[in-house]
Structure 1
């Protein structure tokens, strides 16, 4: 231990003395390890850490899927819930829930918050423990007994000044008083930190009936019994579905054609399904950055250890054994990398803040849980230690194979360096260039892919378009007619405002995040054997909505005031749906219907309501510029014939759309002072938000690649500069024998570009090997896009030539007489 302390003190003195080397190394390690700390903090919090629920591994998500109908994820219906309660025995608890916006407060102080309606079993399943009060009991999950709420800690503070004062008080929710029975702890979290209010979820007899089957709008979760497995749960659900297909034989073939099945999957795995591969790729990329930084540090340590051969030989001559010298070198390097690790952890905190500032956390599940915790710190320090040991291997091996008795003579000659050391440094530089090339390829592909996404036409003009939501509650707007009167008055007041060129309301706005789909068929359409019904987007709109979006009319007409509740039913379809049902023909004047014939779901029945197509519009990208789901088209109903309660306003302006926010709120208050206008965003902002899951990984990849490019360039420069310094006499002899300065410049440049080309070859091979991992992250480009490969190679080559030119120029200016006289 005493010897270790001596080695440690000696290492500190040497590092303090050699400040340029120490600062350069610490900065390199801090940047590389800090980047790893940030990404690992995200990976750990989002992917690795269990959900903050007791025995979270037993929590399962269940959802229905109809892949051949274009609906991969369809959540769950109420009849399914009660079937599974009765006919499965692998679940300890089953629950349905739905996250929804709710309006709290009254006249003059109404506000919109995020709520969650859930069966009482959900909070039991999660072992939720309120800080004050209680959770819902089973009776409160029945119709008429559900007037209770549980508040978040923050909402109780804001409304009542404290959690204890909230118990027993009433809160107006959607215009109706609800009694507060509990307050959750301040750190309570289940899936979404934004939830401020919980309500018990009840269902009517109609919602429970067989008529509601495959009307999916609820999320189902279950907790497996101890000892029950995922495979057992899936087997029981599959068997239940098979029995139901036989019970409802009229639906069997339709469901089989749609590929209907129910997926049972661990809740935590499903939460991260869309970001898992991206995060692991980013983690791999940042480890490449660390590898490049470690190579840089290794070269610096090798150069420094070569310069210290006389010192080491002296200590060896005075009695220090090779093991003592090896321990000294190892102590110095590990001390340095641990210091870099601590600096990297310190940089990690502002790094996470920076990521939050560019709003990536909004695109990540479990974003509220992302933090640098003990595991992240331990992992980072372990990584730093491992880097220290690996970096030490090269100077230690060099030391073990060097004849220290010749060190004085080798040190005294400033000619060529040892071939073994030079070969090691060349291999390290090639690996740096290869890693940097692979990172640059990845960043270039993501950039090219993002550019292709930005070029996708959303189907309408998003500029100068403001969107906002309003939700008239059923307590004051009892039926569709009352809601229509409100909508007419609201739109009339908006259309007279200065700066408004068009305005309309819709049930589902593009890029709004919530969508409704429903099966529809065309009169006379013949389904081929095995063909599935399709479930396109169903959207309800008012006259003026399509003008606000500036949707061009391809055929027919838009909705008008003549389309009333008592006039013939009408529909507008988009071009995708038109090509599906009437390829090569004009759909205007043709009829459609919503299937409902219990004898044959694919044919109209005696009670079928016929709907006439009156117009055709282009396809709009509802779910995003790029969606993994098969696009089945969209059809539009007029609000007069298909009611909606939560509606989104679309306002086309002649200036800055967000500048209209205040006057829109004033217009709404003049009609109903208890209704808040919420989710106010420009359409361009909505599109930008929809791209967060692509933009931020792209920006991170570009940042990592830029750092890698800088490190590779400095590594190449450092090795060549050191070789020039070591070969001064050799270069002087060449010049004395007649070599021109240009020849010397070309000689050094050739050596540098040779290393660069070798690195490019190795990097290209590596990029080809991992191409499949990149393919899922790309849109419109291949994983080996020639233009990207050529551009990245050209950029790296240019930077490498510049890095080589500086030491080459220095070599060409060596004074032969002065160098030979040294």
Structure 2
């Protein structure tokens, strides 16, 4: 230890550079592992949370997280793997208080077993009683800790107070602990309330809005639970073939179920690419160690001559490397802390920042220690082994400290530079491909006007609007009020707009297709709209017509389909006048196609949509209680408050929510992707700098070792340009090999990014070529300065040294 400390103290420049390099490499990796641990590995903050599993249905449309109450009852009654099973549903609730405008608050509607299943009880007040979870008795709520602090300043006198929610008066009976406010599951929820099932919800198999979570019994594995769920799925497929296709069930531990596959893949990719930064740092440090070992070869030879064993020499150098790496790891933790603070303030969870809670947990610190130790061994073992093999007599004969580099050391340093250039180009290429792909993605023409649009949501409580006629009348009043606002060119209502995706996939078939062959029928997104919808969005009507604005609920069923669906079903003829059936549970609804519109893509969706086909139906034929409004105006951002007031004039207890322009909505949708792109750029710049420093160090050391040779060449008549060319050629040959390998690696990373985000990123050889050219220019500059020094060698001084 003392020898290692003295050795490092003698070389303050080397020690400072090594510590900085290690701090950057280890710090980036520590931060990325901390991000992964927080989002994927950290258990949910509930007692024995590894027992909590979310039940998920695998269907032809993909993973389905929502179930109907009928399906929930069947699962509860037929399996015994869970000690309890609870359901919950997200619900946007209108909160109206005296003297304040109504606002939307996220609430969670829960079943009777909810708090027992999660194993957490209120810290103030009490949980729901069995009687309060019965239909019609749910006028009670339990507050989230965050809402309690924000709205009531943490007052314990809150119990017994009332709030006005969706036009009903409810009583506060409890407050949950702060640890229960898990934003990954509950979002920004303000309170929990018992589910009040309507008769339709209790008896409908296809009213799927409820999430299903169960707690496994002690000793029961997830595989056993899945095995029990298999017969349930088989019976449902057999008994209700029109409601299901390709159904199976799986269970996923709760904290892992909150992360979708795309986000999970992005996180692992970030961790892997941050590892490339660390590998470049290790290669840099190994090069520094080799250069330092070459300089100190006489000292090592003297120690060997005095009796130091080879194992002792290797051990001393490894101890030195471990001291460096552990100190660098400590600095890396400080660097990671700074990165984590920036990420926590930037990354949005449930649409809001500061919800990530990135912390350097014990597991993260342990991984940092292991990484630092492995780094010390990685960049220290090869230089130590090569140095210990040096011939003692040759080293002692040498009169020049820089002239004892062995052929093995020289080859190792060259290989390390090639590896650094390769990894740097992989990072640069990945960052460039994603950045160019993202720019193209947001600039691509989606098929509709994104510049002059204002959108928002308008949830309607089913209790207040139980009948279709009630909802139709409310839709009519809101639409008339919005269309009459000054500055509004057109307004429409719909159950989905392209910026947020359409959702609601249903199987469809023509008169020539077999309706019973549900496994092979195509899927189409179904959107219920008002007649001016395409005019508002600026979507071209390619063929046919729209239905009139005054269409009635009992008028003949008509639909408009998109261009892709028309081409798929009727490639050689007009789709207008054809009949198309939509399967919604047991219902098989036939409609006449009266128009075909241009495809309208979602610019905020990075993955492939579940289906490229869309069917647009009159909203009066299927009046939902949850709709979005869309307004076209020259200055949409200036209308936000006017729109809110207009809707409040129709019903002051039903405020609009998420009132945003399309650019604002895109920013919200793509915010975290922008952060991912910036992280990749940061990794790439770090890799570029480290590779340039490494190449500069190798060429500088080469010049120092070959000073005598260059002096002799100049003395014998070589021109300075010849020496310059010789040194540059050496550096650029290594760079060229690294670029060839790196181009292949970068192309592989671009293919990986394409698999994760197919609509945004595609392999881009132009971007990769540009990054290779940039790295080549940097390599020229890194080699140029030491090469220039070689041309200024004084032959007399160089020959005297020899």
Q: Given the two structures, how large is their TM-score scaled by the length of structure 2?
A: 0.90
1:433 matched to 2:421:
yes
Change (3 A) 1:778 1:175: closer
Task: Look up the match of 1:537.
Answer: 525
Change (3 A) 1:235 1:393: closer
Task: Look up the match of 1:678.
Answer: 657
Q: Is the 8 A contact 2:456 2:630 kept in 1?
A: yes
Task: Look up the match of 1:703.
Answer: 682
Task: Look up the match of 1:111.
Answer: 103
Partner Cα separation in structure 2 for residue 260 and residue 418 of structure 1: 66
Structure 2: state its 5+ residue gaps: none
Structure 1 residue matching 2:375: 3-state secondary structure: helix
Partner Cα separation in structure 1 for residue 147 and residue 300 of structure 2: 68
Partner Cα separation in structure 1 for residue 760 and residue 561 of structure 2: 31
Q: Note the C-alpha offset of 1:654.
A: 1.0
The 10-residue stretch of structure 1 (321-330 or 503-512) with the greater mean CA deviation from structure 2 = 321-330
Change (3 A) 1:781 1:373: closer
Task: Look up the match of 2:738.
Answer: 759
Pick from 629, 637, 647: which aligns with 1:649?
Answer: 629
Pick from 23, 41, 46: which aligns with 1:30?
Answer: 23
Task: Look up the match of 1:797.
Answer: 776
The 10-residue stretch of structure 1 (659-668 or 344-353) with the greater mean CA deviation from structure 2 = 659-668
Q: Note the C-alpha offset of 1:749.
A: 1.5
Q: Note the C-alpha offset of 1:358.
A: 4.3
Task: Look up the match of 2:167.
Answer: 175
Q: Note the C-alpha offset of 1:742.
A: 1.9
Structure 1 residue matching 2:109: 3-state secondary structure: strand
User: Which structure 2 residues correspond to residues 125-274 of structure 1 after superposition, within 5 A?
Assistant: 125-190=117-182, 191-209=185-203, 212-246=204-238, 248=239, 251-252=240-241, 254=242, 258-272=245-259, 273-274=261-262
The 10-residue stretch of structure 1 (476-485 or 214-223) with the greater mean CA deviation from structure 2 = 476-485
Partner Cα separation in structure 2 for residue 734 and residue 521 of structure 1: 84
1:818 matched to 2:797:
yes
Task: Look up the match of 2:378.
Answer: 390
Q: Is the 8 A contact 1:62 1:76 kept in 2?
A: no
User: Deviation digits for residues 677-715 of structure 1, max 9, x if unmatched?
Assistant: 321222123234333464433332232122112211211
User: Deviation digits for residues 494-541 of structure 1, max 9, x if unmatched?
Assistant: 334343222222222223367333445555655595753444222222
Structure 1: state its 5+ residue gaps: 603-607
User: Deviation digits for residues 8-55 of structure 1, max 9, x if unmatched?
Assistant: 6535xx43x644323322222221111111101011112222222233
Partner Cα separation in structure 1 for residue 157 and residue 269 of structure 2: 49
Q: Is the 8 A contact 1:163 1:183 kept in 2?
A: no
Change (3 A) 1:778 1:103: closer
Change (3 A) 1:559 1:369: farther
1:10 matched to 2:3:
no
Task: Look up the match of 2:576.
Answer: 588
Structure 2 residue matching 1:412: 3-state secondary structure: coil
User: Deviation digits for residues 772-793 of structure 1, max 9, x if unmatched?
Assistant: 7555225379987544554443
User: Deviation digits for residues 745-802 of structure 1, max 9, x if unmatched?
Assistant: 1211121122123323444565688787555225379987544554443333232223
Q: Is the 8 A contact 2:22 2:281 kept in 1?
A: yes
The 10-residue stretch of structure 1 (297-306 or 470-479) with the greater mean CA deviation from structure 2 = 470-479
User: Deviation digits for residues 380-404 of structure 1, max 9, x if unmatched?
Assistant: 1332232123323244324422345
Q: Note the C-alpha offset of 1:727.
A: 0.9
Partner Cα separation in structure 1 for residue 476 and residue 106 of structure 2: 27
Pick from 535, 541, 559: which aligns with 1:547?
Answer: 535
The 10-residue stretch of structure 1 (714-723 or 220-229) with the greater mean CA deviation from structure 2 = 220-229
Q: How many residues align?
A: 797
Structure 1 residue matching 2:180: 3-state secondary structure: coil
Partner Cα separation in structure 1 for residue 501 and residue 172 of structure 2: 30
Partner Cα separation in structure 1 for residue 194 and residue 321 of structure 2: 60
Structure 1 residue matching 2:756: 3-state secondary structure: coil
Q: Note the C-alpha offset of 1:112.
A: 1.1
User: Which structure 2 residues correspond to residues 712-723 of structure 1 after superposition, within 5 A?
Assistant: 712-723=691-702
The 10-residue stretch of structure 1 (276-285 or 633-642) with the greater mean CA deviation from structure 2 = 633-642
Partner Cα separation in structure 1 for residue 512 and residue 378 of structure 2: 73
User: Deviation digits for residues 575-594 of structure 1, max 9, x if unmatched?
Assistant: 23333444433333444455
Partner Cα separation in structure 1 for residue 629 and residue 540 of structure 2: 19
Task: Look up the match of 2:670.
Answer: 691
Task: Look up the match of 1:605.
Answer: none
User: Deviation digits for residues 204-223 of structure 1, max 9, x if unmatched?
Assistant: 444333xx224422221222
Q: Is the 8 A contact 2:107 2:191 kept in 1?
A: yes
Change (3 A) 1:126 1:501: same
Change (3 A) 1:360 1:177: closer
Task: Look up the match of 2:711.
Answer: 732
Q: Is the 8 A contact 1:415 1:729 kept in 2?
A: no
User: Deviation digits for residues 154-183 of structure 1, max 9, x if unmatched?
Assistant: 212333333522222222221111122211
Change (3 A) 1:9 1:185: same
User: Deviation digits for residues 389-444 of structure 1, max 9, x if unmatched?
Assistant: 33232443244223456645425365574433322222221221222233334334
Task: Look up the match of 2:66.
Answer: 75
Partner Cα separation in structure 2 for residue 305 and residue 64 of structure 1: 61
Q: Note the C-alpha offset of 1:83.
A: 0.9
Pick from 34, 49, 56: which aligns with 1:41?
Answer: 34
